Amino acid sequence: MKKIKVKTPAKINLTLEVLNRRADGFHNIQSIMQAISLYDYLTFDVSSASGIDIVLNGSSPDIPYNSFNLVYKAAERFFEKAGINNVKLDIYIEKHIPVAAGLAGGSTNAAGAFFALNRLFDNVLSEREIDDLCASLGSDLNFCLNGGCCLCTSRGEVIERLPAYIQKISLIKPKKLGISAKEAYSNFAELSDKSNPDNTTKLKNLLNKGGFDKNLLYNSLENALFPKYEELRIIKSSVKNSLMSGSGSTFFVLNEKIDAPLDKTEYDIFENLTTILAGVEQV
């Protein structure tokens, strides 16, 4: 039996500018993503079996532990690509990243699965093959595999590493509100004004020079979701300098503690999470 445990970090979008809709139904984007020190922990146990047997368990009641889970799908694709048979794989997901929160919880778990399984099977697949598997399964996986700070383009799977500007963050989200990426992008497609300020390029240039400007933080999807969700509007108006991450519903502020009248609303607050330079790490 072989065993490995990995920690998979959440991400925030310092910028997210949605561009044109593609022929495959996705949107092209330009986004600067940053990994943060909020982790899920995944444990993989491999033993011999007749055929492929994948057993998924975990600590969260909010995710499926079957073939609908991205980790399960990642394991299936890895074994198929690597030509591996006669294996039983037990996976346990210790969940800390909120679900459907714009923090790439599912994507980072799946990227961690590709990373861990390749380690367990002596790097049977090349880095390029693992990157291709990530791109085949989701738009954020390639970033999650690499971590740090990256410019992400195309539908998000094309990445360019950038210098990280290390700072503190605080996260806030409605406890009972999860938003799917499909819903967010569908709402965006219905907007009459889809223009962007090209803050991604401006912030990229600053980061490459060792600088940072929080006034360049931007998310196209805020305008797409605010009309539908009062909870998001409350956070935006109550928490100064807050920005929604990804497709929501989590917001973040940089180098500030959240000081807002939150006693009448239900939110989870994560204080002072230090951004990290590394991506998926073996522990």
Residues 100, 69, 37: CA angle, nearest 5 degrees:
50
| Alpha carbons 118 and 140: distance in angstroms, whole number | 19
Q: Which of 199, 74, 67 is nearest to 125 (CA)?
A: 74
Task: Find the helix or strand (DSSP H, E) in which 45 lies.
Answer: strand 27-48
- Please tell me whether residue 135 adopts helix, strand or coil conformation: helix
Spot the catalytic one: 11, 73, 95, 173.
Answer: 11
In this structure, the dihedral spanned by the alpha carbons of residues 43, 49, 53 and 56, taken in order and rounded to 10 degrees, is: -20
Spot the catalytic one: 7, 95, 140, 204.
Answer: 140
Does residue 11 carry a catalytic annotation? yes
Quickly tell me which residue has 């998926």 as its tokens: 280
Q: Which of 197, 148, 190, 187 is nearest to 36 (CA)?
A: 148
Active site residues: 11, 140
